[in-house]
Amino acid sequence: MSLEANKAFAAVLTAGICFMVAGLVGGLVVHPQRLDKPAIETGEVVTAAAPAAPAALEPIAPLLASANVENGRTIASRQCAACHTFTEGGRNAVGPNLYGVVGGPHAHREDFNYSPAMKALHEKPWDYEALNAFLNRPAAAIPGTRMAFAGLNQAQQRADVIAYLRSLAGSPVPLP
């Protein structure tokens, strides 16, 4: 073995012995005293209550009668256009093209790779209440969806967006 290797081994051994001795001396010098009661009283332990059920989503049908398509277009261009396109025959982006989505089936585009959760609902049409629930909280409406959007909290905004999406069709689905 070389002299340098011996020096390195001796340094490690010496450091270990120093730390061991320091621990022993510290234990002899410092005598911790256990407290009879906690230094800070936190009060009674309260068990957590079951989480409250989410509030029922108000029906969207009454709001659709007064929904504003232009407001819906503005909201969609701000909130949805980063991932979706809206033109007839348009390309898919991160999300599918939404032309003709109202009244169409879930997973309505054959050329888009939907999540298994969305594909499982292919036979179910996108009616107004399904769109309302999905736009409110996508992950709660369809657990397992890949859509990472948090949702629109205001019912009137959802109604406006749904009215806009309804206008994106050759023959729009009748209002309820």
Instruction: Give the mean pLDDT of 166-176.
Output: 89
User: Which pLDDT value is given to residue 16?
Assistant: 93
In sequence order, what are the residues at sequence separation of 6 or more whose Cβ sits closer than 8 angstroms to the Cβ of residue 54? 140
In sequence order, what are the residues at sequence separation of 6 or more whose Cβ sits closer than 8 angstroms to the Cβ of residue 159? 60, 63, 64, 66, 67, 72, 132
Q: Is residue 139 part of a domain?
A: yes
With cut-offs at 50, 70 and 90, classify the pLDDT of residue 46.
Answer: low
Query: CATH number, domain at 163?
Result: 1.10.760.10
User: Which pLDDT value is given to residue 48?
Assistant: 58
User: Which pLDDT value is given to residue 22?
Assistant: 93
Tell which wins on pLDDT, 46 or 42: 42
Q: Is residue 78 part of a domain?
A: yes
Domain that holds residue 85: 61-167
With cut-offs at 50, 70 and 90, classify the pLDDT of residue 55.
Answer: low
Share of the chain above pLDDT 90, in %: 63
Q: Is residue 27 part of a domain?
A: no
Q: Is residue 12 part of a domain?
A: no
**Number of domains, the chain:** 1
Share of the chain above pLDDT 70, in %: 91
Q: Count CB atoms within 10 A of the CB of residue 139.
A: 16
CA distance 126 to 129: 8
Instruction: Give the mean pLDDT of 13-24.
Output: 93
With cut-offs at 50, 70 and 90, classify the pLDDT of residue 45.
Answer: low
pLDDT surpasses 60 at 53: no
In sequence order, what are the residues at sequence separation of 6 or more whose Cβ sits closer than 8 angstroms to the Cβ of residue 162? 60, 64, 67, 72, 102, 128, 131, 132, 135
Q: Is residue 55 part of a domain?
A: no
Whether residue 21 contacts residue 28, with contact meaning beta carbons closer than 8 Å, is answered with no
